[in-house]
């Protein structure tokens, strides 16, 4: 038997699992593909930059442009956190701050279902959202202890616990190819096997639904 | 100059609010729109009225429609008790009563103290929330009574 022709089983399974997850999350097939590398936008630009580097975990050798947000064109730190047993990540550069969950949240009438309440933090009224409800995913905090404040610090999502802050290289993320199907889904951290959430979209959703 | 809006030296008007409780929160409404506060008496139901209309009361010969504020605010309803009050208010549209859990006090706030939280008033159903203000350790939710109902709903109310 020629062992050289048999791919390593573990890697095949890993790639398969990754692809299944990505199929669900990134839904990339129908989106138009950018066929050239654009100039690198400034870091403060909202426009995503197409890059041609193959994302980690790619099972084929084709170099396909993917969309990488401007804040991720250089290595960036992410905060890993858990909501309802599920791990998520957000880029630290786009977080306003983190805080302990206040002992009491105030309930505004007729608020959206995802709104956990409002609290005064550092003399600001902060709207606190349940991440799962806000993003329309099946996860909810079990015992929310912390807040991740996004934008100008007047919007926040609750989480059960913080895990770590890690430095991520651009090619350690599987970026969506073409337009994002889920606007909040910036990409997938291939080493941590979790989704990278775009805090700008989270803030926008809290502000405007 | 009205009694409820006293211009401060800095041009930051001071407004007076009647505060009331609903569930676990404190709300404030402009004192100038409050005509009187009543203990809960008999409220005659009106068949066919919207769900947030409790019924009508006779106020010295005038028929006044009473709104179930908890229902209007999407809060669970509760039994009325000795603390329950009907606050008679005058909006831009008409005079109505709003049923509240209890009436607390009259507070003064500077306009600048009313903070519009990021998504407050975005939803059609909550556009009557003018903002929130910090009161000691509590949070006061300021209600714009003129927006308590939509124009269509105010018109509907006029039929009862």
In a domain, A1, yes or no: no
In a domain, A140, yes or no: yes
Domains identified in chain A, total number: 1
What's residue A77's pLDDT? 96
State the average pLDDT for chain A: 77
- Average pLDDT for A191-197: 93
The secondary structure of A71-99 as a DSSP string is: GGSS-EEEEEEEETTEEEEEEGGGEEEEE
Distance (Å, rounded) from C-alpha A76 to C-alpha B53?
A: 55
- What is the CA angle A117-A119-A125, rounded to 5? 110
DSSP state of A182: S
In chain B, the residue whose alpha carbon lies closest to the alpha carbon of A156 is B118
A29 compared with A177, residue with greater pLDDT: A177
Neighbours of A68 (CB within 10 A): 22
ipTM of the complex as predicted: 0.75
In a domain, A3, yes or no: no
What does R_g of chain B's alpha carbons equal in angstroms?
Answer: 16
What's residue A27's pLDDT? 44
Distance (Å, rounded) from C-alpha A15 to C-alpha B2?
A: 72
Q: How confident is the model at residue A67 (pLDDT cuts 50, 70, 90)?
A: confident
- pLDDT at position A139 over 60: yes
Contacts of B125 in chain A (CB under 8 A): 110
Distance (Å, rounded) from C-alpha A69 to C-alpha A47?
A: 7
Interface contact flag, B118 A155, Cβ < 8 Å? yes
- pLDDT at position A58 over 60: no
- pLDDT at position A36 over 50: no
Tell me if A48 sits within 8 A of A195, measured CB to CB.
no
In a domain, A190, yes or no: yes
- For A8-17, A161-170, B94-103, which range has the lowest pLDDT when averaged over its residues? A8-17
Tell me if A101 sits within 8 A of A147, measured CB to CB.
yes
In a domain, A98, yes or no: yes
In chain A, the residue whose alpha carbon lies closest to the alpha carbon of B23 is A107
* Nearest beta carbon to residue B125 from set A110, A155, A208: A110
Structural domain span for residue A130 = 8-208
pTM: 0.73
Q: How confident is the model at residue B136 (pLDDT cuts 50, 70, 90)?
A: confident
In a domain, A100, yes or no: yes
* Nearest beta carbon to residue A110 from set B25, B123, B134: B123
Backbone φ, ψ for residue B80 (5° rounding): -75, 145
Interface contact flag, A123 B118, Cβ < 8 Å? no
Residue A15: strand, helix, or coil? helix
B136 Cα to chain A: minimum distance (Å): 11
In a domain, A14, yes or no: yes
- Average pLDDT for B54-76: 92
CATH of the domain at A140: 2.40.50.180
What's residue B91's pLDDT? 87
Say whether residue B122 is in contact with chain A using an 8 A CB cutoff. yes
- Average pLDDT for A86-101: 95
Q: Residue B116 to residues A119, B73, B124: CA-CA distances in angstroms? A: 13, 18, 16
In a domain, A192, yes or no: yes
- Average pLDDT for B77-88: 95
Q: Residue A190 to residues A54, A175, A196, A203: CA-CA distances in angstroms? A: 12, 10, 10, 25
Interface contact flag, B119 A125, Cβ < 8 Å? no
Query: Which tokens in the block code for residue B59?
Result: 């106020």
What's residue A182's pLDDT? 85
- Give residues with Cβ within 8 angstroms of B26, minimum separation 6: B19, B20, B104, B135, B138, B139, B140, B141
Query: Which tokens in the block code for residue A21?
Result: 């997850």
Distance (Å, rounded) from C-alpha A101 to C-alpha B102?
A: 29
- Average pLDDT for B67-95: 92
């Amino acid at each position: 038997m020629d062992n050289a022709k048999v791919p390593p089983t573990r890697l095949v399974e890993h790639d398969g699992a990754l692809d299944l997850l990505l199929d669900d999350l990134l839904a990339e097939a129908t989106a138009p593909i950018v066929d050239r590398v654009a100039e690198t936008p400034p870091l403060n630009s909202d426009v995503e930059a197409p890059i041609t580097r193959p994302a980690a975990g790619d099972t084929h050798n084709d170099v396909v442009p993917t969309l990488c947000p401007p804040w991720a064109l250089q290595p960036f730190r992410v905060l890993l956190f858990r909501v309802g047993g599920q791990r998520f990540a957000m880029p630290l550069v786009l977080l306003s701050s983190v805080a302990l969950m206040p002992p009491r949240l105030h309930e505004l009438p007729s608020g959206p279902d995802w709104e956990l309440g409002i609290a005064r933090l550092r003399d600001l009224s902060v709207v606190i959202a349940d991440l799962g409800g806000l993003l329309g995913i099946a996860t909810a905090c079990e015992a929310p202890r912390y807040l991740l404040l996004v934008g100008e610090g007047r919007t926040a999502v609750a989480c059960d616990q913080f895990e770590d802050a890690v430095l991520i290289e651009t090619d350690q993320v599987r970026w969506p190819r073409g337009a994002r199907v889920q606007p909040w889904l910036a990409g997938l951290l291939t080493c941590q096997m979790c989704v990278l959430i775009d805090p700008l979209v989270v803030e926008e959703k809290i502000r405007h639904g | 100059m009205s009694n409820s809006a006293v211009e401060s030296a800095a041009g930051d008007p001071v407004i007076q609010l009647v505060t009331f409780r609903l569930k676990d929160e404190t709300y404030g409404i402009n004192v100038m729109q409050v005509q009187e506060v009543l203990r809960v008496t008999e409220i005659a139901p009106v068949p066919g009225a919207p769900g947030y209309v409790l019924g009508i009361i006779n106020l010295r010969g005038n028929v006044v429609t009473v709104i179930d504020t908890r229902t209007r605010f999407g809060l669970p309803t509760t039994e009325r008790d000795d603390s329950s009050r009907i606050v008679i208010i005058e909006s831009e549209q008409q005079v109505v009563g709003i049923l509240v859990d209890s009436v607390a006090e009259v507070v003064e706030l500077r306009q600048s103290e009313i903070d519009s939280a990021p998504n407050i008033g975005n939803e059609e159903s909550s556009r009557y929330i003018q903002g929130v203000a910090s009161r000691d350790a509590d949070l006061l939710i300021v209600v714009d009574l003129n927006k308590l109902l939509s124009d269509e709903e105010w018109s509907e109310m006029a039929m009862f």
